Chains A and B, each alone.
Chain A
Amino acid sequence: MNLKEVLETISGQKLTLTEGLNNDVYLSLNIIDLQKAIGIFDENSFELISLFCVEDFAEKGFTLFYAFEIPGFEQILILQSTLSGNQAVSIAKTYPSACWYEREITDGFGIEFQGAFDTRRLFLHETFPSGFHPLLKSFKNGKIETAATSDQKEYYFRQVEGEGVYQIPVGPVHAGIIEPGHFRFSVIGETIFNLEVRLFYKHRGLEKLAEGIKPQACVRIAETISGDETVANAVGYCNAVEKICSLELPKRAVQLRTILLELERIYSHLGDLAGMCVDVAYPVGASPFFILREEIFRQNDAMTGSRFMKGIVAVGGLTKDVPEGALKNLSNYLLSFSSRLNDAKGIDSTYFSVVDRFETTGKVRAEILEPLHITGPVARASGKMCDTRITHPYGLYPELKLKCRTHANGDVLARFNLKAKEVKDSVQIIQRLLNEVVSGDISVPCQIKDGYALSLVEAPRGQNVHWVQIKDSLIYRYKVRTASFCNWQAMEHAVLGNIVPDFPLINKSMNLSYAGTDM
C-alpha cells in the first residue's frame, strides 16, 4: 500500500494529497478534521516530528503545519490547517511533544491554543514586553524599546512540596565553559525528585534574521544554529533549497559533503566520550579522546580552511574544492584511527570505577521515546531503530546502505558504547568514500525558484528538520527544529531518581546543544 491508501484506510474517507518536492506530502484539513486526524494518527503511532506556523502561506492568515513520520514510509506527511483568526486547538494532550512547539508558536505569532496545559512563554523571556510577537510579518526586524521594569510575571516553576524537599537553582551561568540554561532541581537528600529545564537564554532570533535575505546568504545562518552541527545544518538547509530550485549536484560535491558530515559526527562523538570521562573525574581516560578530536579538527582545517568546516557548503554544492593532498592525508591518518580509538576506549570500559558511574545512570526509558520524539544516539541507545540516514536517506546515503546500531539499556554506559561504535562506523564510511571520490565539478550554477520544501538531516545529535519557503527569490520562512529541541525534554525524565552529582554526566552523555535549541 502506498501512503495515500494507508491514510484512506485508517481514516475511512477519500483524501487529496499534495506531493511536495522532497518526499514531503501535504494534506490540507480544517480544524475539526485535524482533531480527528490527530487522534487516528496517535493510535497508529505516527510520530510528530515538527509543528510550525507560517503567516500568509497560500491565503491570508496563519497556517499551521504538523509534520509526521510514519513507520515504514520514507515520506513525511504534513497536515496543513489554516486558522480563521489567532485561535487554534492544542494537541499537546495527545502528542506531549507538541507542548514546546505550541508555546513557541504562541511566542512567535501570538496564536492561542485552546486546551493547552502549559501556556508559559518559551523563547521570549521577561525582558520582552507583552504583545510582542517577532515572527509576525508586520514586525520589521530591529531593536525594540523595552520598559525599565518588565510587565511580565516571574516565570513559574513546578513546585514540589513535602518534608525534606528542597530546591537547587542552577544557572543560567554555569561553573564550566558551558552554554547558559537554567535547571531547577527539587531534591530529597541527594536524589533528584523533579527537574525543570528553562532554556532559550541564547535566543538569537535566527528564524527572523533569515526572512527576506537571499537563499545563498542564508547558509551562514544555518551554520550558526549550532557551531558543532555546522555541516549538518548547512547541508540540511541546502538540500531543501536545492529541491526547490531542482538542482542536481555533481557527484563529487555530494561525496565530499558526506565525508564532511561524517567527520563532524566523529569529532562531536569524540568530544562526548571525553566529556563523559571528565564528568566522572577521570582525565586520564578523557585525554586520548581529546587528542583524537584535536587531530580531527586539524584534518578539518586542512580540508576546508575551518576547524568547524564553516563556509564550505553552499547552495548548489561547495564553495571551494577540497585539495587532493588533504584527502590523501586524511586517508593515511585514518589507517591507525580505529585501533587508537579502541585503546582509548579500553582505558575506560575496563576501569571499574568509571563503569560503576556509567552503568544504570540516567536511564532514558523506552516509553518516552515516541511521545517526545527523542532522536539520535539518545534514542538509539534506548533501543529505538531511528537514523535519518536510513529511514529518510538523502545525499549519498541511499547508496551507502548503512545499518542502524542500537543498544538496549538506555543508560550512560549504553550511550558511551554506542557513540564509540558510531565513530568507528563513520570512519569506515569515510574510508570507503575516499576510495570512491570522483574528480569533477564541485557545484552547479543555481537559479533560484520560488517554492517550499522539507529536508531532514541526521546531525551528530539526531534528526534535524529544516523547512524552507522561498517567495520572490528571497527566504520567506525558514523553520528549523534541531534534535536537541526534542532531546532536552528527555533530560527531565532521565535524571529522576539519580543523584545531583550525576546530572552533569547525564547531560554530557546526551550532548544537548543550547544554541541549537534556543535558535
Chain B
Amino acid sequence: MAKAISNVFKKPTTDQFQFSDAEFEAIGVQIKEKADKIFGKSLAIRELDAGSDNSTEIELNNLSTPYYDVERFGISFVASPRHADVLIVTGAITRNMEIAAKKTYEAMPAPKFVVAVGDEACGCGILNDSYAVLGGADKIFHVDLKILGNPPSPREILKGIRALMYTIEKQSIR
C-alpha cells in the first residue's frame, strides 16, 4: 500500500531516450516517403514463421523496440493477414506448416507482396535436404524479395524493406 501511495508523489518514471543513428533514420524516412505514395500512408506487414529457429522473429520484434521503433516510419506489424500488404516469411517451410502458410497468404487482400527473411526462408540454409521441410519460401510463394542473413540484423531487414519499396515503385510505373 505504501508503495502504491508513493507512486502518486514520485517523479515521472519516463525519461527522454537519446537516440541518434542517422543512417537508420534515413532509411526509415525513405521508406516512409515511398510507402506514403504506394500504400496510402501506412505499410502493414504480417509475419509468418514457417519453421525458423526463432532468432529472426527476435530481430523482427526488435524493430518495434526503442532503439529502432519503426512504427514512426509508418511501418506496422499487424495481427491478421487480412490487414497486411506484405507477408514476411521466416524459416524454411516445414511440411507441418505448409497448409497454414498457404492459408495465411490466401487470406491477404491483393495486391500483396512476399519477402523472405533469413537464410532458411531464402532457400540457402542448412535444412534443404531434410524430409521435414519443403525448402525456402519460393517453394510455395512468389517471393518478391529475399533478405539474407542468419539472422539479418534489424538494420538489414529495414534496408530490405526499402529495397522492396523501390521494386514495387518500378513495377507500378510500368
Contacts and interface: CB of A to CB of B under 8 A. Distances in A.
A228 B59 CA distance: 11
Contacts of A352: 3-4, 7
B23 interface: no
Contacts of B61: 177
A227 B97 contact: no
B57 A177 contact: yes
A127 interface: yes
Given A127-B96, A200-B96, A228 B55 contact: yes
Nearest to A143: B131
Given A226-B53, A226-B54, A291-B17, A141 B130 contact: yes
Nearest to A288: B66
Residue among A203, A284, A294 with max Cβ neighbours from chain B (10 Å): A203
B131 A227 contact: no
Interface stretch (A217-225, A329-337, A365-373): A217-225
Q: What band does the interface of chain A fall in when counting residues whose beta carbon is under 8 Å from B?
A: 35 or more
A125 B52 contact: no
Contacts of B59: 307
A512 B131 CA distance: 25
Nearest to B79: A175
B139 to A, nearest CB: 10
A180 B80 contact: no
A202 B62 contact: no
Contact of B104 (A173, A206, A224, A310): A173
Q: What band does the interface of chain B fall in when counting residues whose beta carbon is under 8 Å from A?
A: 35 or more
Contacts, number: 151
Interface string A278-312: 00000010010011011001000100001110100
A395 interface: no
A201 interface: yes
Contacts of A177: 47, 49, 57, 60-61, 77
B57 to A, nearest CB: 5
A202 B81 CA distance: 20
Interface string B69-104: 000000001011100000000011011111110011
Interface string A170-204: 00110111111000000000000000000011111
A66 to B, nearest CB: 26
B35 to A, nearest CB: 19
9 contacts: A125-B96, A134-B131, A177-B49, A177-B57, A202-B94, A203-B96, A208-B131, A310-B55, A518-B96
Interface of A: 123, 125, 127-128, 134, 139, 141-144, 146, 172-173, 175-180, 200-206, 208-209, 220-221, 223-228, 230, 271, 274, 284, 287, 290-291, 293-294, 297, 301, 306-308, 310, 346-347, 350-352, 513-516, 518
Given A224-B53, A224-B125, 15 more contacts: A125-B95, A175-B80, A177-B57, A177-B60, A201-B96, A203-B96, A205-B130, A205-B131, A209-B129, A224-B126, A227-B151, A228-B58, A291-B67, A352-B3, A515-B52
